[in-house]
Amino acid sequence: MKAARTTRRFLVAVAMLLLLTACGAEGGASPDGEPAGGGTPAGGDDTAPAGTEAEGGGDPTPVRVASILSGQAGYLTALVEHMGLGEEHGLDLEVTDLGFVEAANALRQDRADVALMSVSSIVSLRGEQGFESVIVGPSNWSGNAWVVREDAPYEDFADLQGERIGNFPRTTGAFFFSAVLADAMDLSIEDDFDSVEADVSALVALLENGEVEAVNLFEPHVSKLLTIGGYRVLLDFDEFFEELMGARPLKATYAATPQWIEENPDTVEAVQAVLAEAIEAIKSGADEEFFRDNADELFGLTTAEQVDAGFERNRLSYVGPDEWREGDVEVQNQILQEGIDLGLLPEPPEDWQEDMWLDCYYEQCPSG
């Protein structure tokens, strides 16, 4: 991989690297539906080869993108199309609506050039199937939180020990983070709690019906409950990890194979510029009109109050160019290693930490 990493230094010459991302669709087709451990994609026949760098400067370069088209991932994709950023940067973005498992499988089978994946799934694919993929750009922080009723007596997550809680299935990224979080408190998410596994809609219903004391949710579902009233955040995952380890946990990213990265440096650079521009629009609030027009379809926000809250919270989930710091890769590797040690992820090769990252990201990269 040393040759590949040398090539990657050229790819990251642009200062702002970003990519499509996720926080979730309703139910199972969300970033939290991305396998964190044993649920990695099954095998399949390879199809057409991935695209290579287009010669000349005439026609736009096709880029096959495998991405879920709902929640925050779908919102970013839709915003890119709405702003016409692909065309501006000489790309023909061919987006296929695929859930996280299918998107990862498409990348592995050479049916996509880049795919929206969770970081834990990149490790799982490497450990289980020997398939290597490289993070082109970090895109979404966790955005998860433990939510309780407003009048609940709990002051800390540890107070819930022995209580019935609602969580996502064990193969999901949301469960992965909750397990690492509990372990940091010397607790076991599986042994020290009476845990009920469900998808996001069922989790909300369980809390509303008083069948559980707390639920693990992600945005915009957290904001929706807080807007309805009668609920509060007991523990924010991003805040907890930032205080404990110095960085928020990375949930989603776009990834590509090292071969495609090496063969398509100009295209990778253009894709990163497209996504950086779109996320800058989100971070600055320049996307407000588009967000409000699509809040119901993409986020399930139906009332004006929910849309207002969702708009303010949405921008916080994306990794801005000025937010990625030099030590973030080390922290993400530490979180992933915790998951490996807990048995949530298969043991990857010794060089996995070096191979899955580019040499720098965003504003930490040299500008010339």
DSSP state of 33: G
- Please answer whether residues 112 and 96 qualify as being in contact, where contact means their C-beta atoms are separated by less than 8 angstroms: yes
Which positions ≥6 away from 27 have C-beta within 8 Å? 33, 199, 200, 201
Taking only the tens of pLDDT, the chain with its 368 residues reads 433 343 343 333 333 333 333 333 333 344 444 445 444 444 444 434 444 454 445 799 999 999 988 777 678 878 888 999 999 999 999 999 998 889 999 999 999 999 988 899 899 999 999 999 999 878 889 999 999 999 999 999 999 999 999 999 988 889 999 999 999 999 999 999 999 999 988 999 999 999 999 999 998 889 989 999 999 999 999 999 999 999 999 988 889 999 999 999 888 888 888 888 888 999 999 999 999 999 998 888 889 999 999 999 889 989 887 888 878 999 999 999 999 999 999 999 988 998 899 887 767 667 65
Residue 18, amino acid? L
Walk me through the domains of the chain, giving residue ranges and CATH numbers: 2-39+60-141+251-364 (3.40.190.10), 144-245 (3.40.190.10)
Residue 166, amino acid? G
- Please answer whether residues 20 and 139 qualify as being in contact, where contact means their C-beta atoms are separated by less than 8 angstroms: yes
DSSP state of 97: E
- Please answer whether residues 114 and 63 qualify as being in contact, where contact means their C-beta atoms are separated by less than 8 angstroms: yes
Query: For the residues of 48-59, what is the DSSP string, one character each?
Result: SPPP-PPPSSSS
pLDDT of residue 42: 45
pLDDT of residue 323: 86
Cite the beta strand spans of the chain per DSSP E: 61-67, 91-97, 114-118, 134-141, 144-149, 164-167, 194-197, 214-218, 231-236, 250-256
pLDDT of residue 365: 67
pLDDT of residue 70: 77
Closest listed residue to residue 31, CA positions, set 146, 238, 230, 176: 176
305, with CB counted inside 10 A (0-12, 13-18, 19+), is: middle
CA dist 204 and 206 (Å) reads 5
Beta bridge partners of 117: 253
Task: Compute φ and ψ for 210, nearest 5 degrees.
Answer: 75, 20
Helix or strand (DSSP H, E) at 75: helix 71-83
Greatest alpha-carbon pair distance for the chain in Å reads 66
Residue 254, amino acid? Y
CA dist 146 and 93 (Å) reads 37
Residue 367, amino acid? S
pLDDT of residue 6: 37
- Please answer whether residues 61 and 92 qualify as being in contact, where contact means their C-beta atoms are separated by less than 8 angstroms: yes
DSSP state of 362: G
